[in-house]
Amino acid sequence: MSGTTSASASASAVARPANGRRRIGSVAWHVGALLVLAVVLYPVVWVLGASFKPSEDIVASLDLLPAKPVWTNFSGLADGISDISIGSFFGNSLMYAGLAVVGVVMSSSLTAYAFAKIRFAGRNLLFTLMIGTLLLPYHVLLIPQYVLFRHLGYIDTLVPLVAGKFLAVEAFFVFLMVQFMRGLPRELDEAAKLDGCGHLRTYWSIVLPLSRPAVITSAIFTFINAWNDFMGPLIYLNTPSKYTVSLGLMMFRDQEGISDYGSMIAMSLVALVPVVAFFMAFQRYLIDGMATSGLK
């Protein structure tokens, strides 16, 4: 936000020492940064290379990239696993993540609007409660929620996984949106009110559109969290045809024959693709969203 001013300030601070010293400092900086980069990216490059290696080479060979790339791991994926096609896992994950995004965006933005823009009795207390749930270990909810959804007959469906998303249980996103909406100029909603807009109109046509950055950040984080979610599906889904990608991968592992190992690694790579793609397209939103969470 204040990037330009601090950039010029630091530029003048850097310009002071002698040129030679500055060059050495710059080289050291890049060496350090590249070193960290190498460690950080090693596993990512590894999985990319490994998925084009024959199964028996994957663990044994230390070369990051295959000597002779093979496609068998990917063609092996086409057979699916235990009669379930790979597409089924991806479809289920997509359904889960899609519903989660819709739920979080709708419920969190409504709740955030109330916290940020409506003065109602008990608002501060509820806000404190909401922040409190951020720190609550989810374990304590795991068993009673399971009992509840079992009573309602929703085991082996997506309902237990997405119900909370439609009920604004993800306090982090509510918090993110409240912070953003509080920053919007008050004149806007006051003008709308004078013009006879009710809260629903103000929310829908003014505050929600202006909150787009916070909404996008929440949507992408939600998608990624649902896509990566392992424990939720592990507890609630029992039928392989309903498994998400995470559980599908575990099916590969459970029959970890050497012949399937390559396919397992290939599917790991494919499972990472949507997350990395979202990251590349929206990294600014994600990083800024993350950064503001710590600053209040």
Partner 1 sequence: MTLVEESPVHAVRKRSAAPGAGRRGRRQENLAGYLFMSPWIAGFLLLTAGPMIASLYYAFTSYNLFTPPKWVGLDNFTTMFQDPRWQKSVEVTLKYVVVATPLKLLLALGVAMLLAQRRRGQALYRAAFYLPSLIGASVSVGFVWRALFSDDAVVDRTQKIFGIDAGGWIGNPDYVLYALVALSIWQFGAPMVIFLAGLKQVPRELYEAAEMDGAGPVRRFWNITLPMLSPVLFFNVLLESIHAFQVFGSAYVVSDTRCGPADATLVYTCYLYQKGFKESQMGFASAMAWTLVVAVALVTAVLFWSQKKWVHYEEAAK
Cβ neighbours of residue 247 closer than 8 Å, sequence gap 6 or more = 89, 230, 233, 234, 237, 240
| Shortest distance (Å) from residue 187 CB to partner 1 | 6
Q: Could you say whether residue 218 binds partner 1 (CB under 8 A)?
A: no
**Residues 66, 247: Cα–Cα separation, whole Å:** 28
| Shortest distance (Å) from residue 109 CB to partner 1 | 9
Q: Could you say whether residue 277 binds partner 1 (CB under 8 A)?
A: no
**Residues 268, 51: Cα–Cα separation, whole Å:** 9
Q: Could you say whether residue 140 binds partner 1 (CB under 8 A)?
A: yes
Which residues ranging from 51 to 90 are in contact with partner 1 (CB under 8 A)? 58-60, 62
Q: Could you say whether residue 120 binds partner 1 (CB under 8 A)?
A: yes
Q: Could you say whether residue 142 binds partner 1 (CB under 8 A)?
A: yes
Q: Could you say whether residue 208 binds partner 1 (CB under 8 A)?
A: no
* CA-to-CA separations, 92 to 66, 146, 182, 228, in angstroms, rounded: 32, 20, 37, 13
Which residues ranging from 86 to 105 are in contact with partner 1 (CB under 8 A)? none
Q: Which of 10, 82, 238, 241 binds partner 1 (CB under 8 A)?
A: 10
Q: Could you say whether residue 26 binds partner 1 (CB under 8 A)?
A: yes
Cβ neighbours of residue 72 closer than 8 Å, sequence gap 6 or more = 54, 262
> Which position has the token pair 């998303």?
165
| Shortest distance (Å) from residue 144 CB to partner 1 | 4
| Shortest distance (Å) from residue 80 CB to partner 1 | 17
Q: Which of 188, 204, 213, 240 binds partner 1 (CB under 8 A)?
A: 188
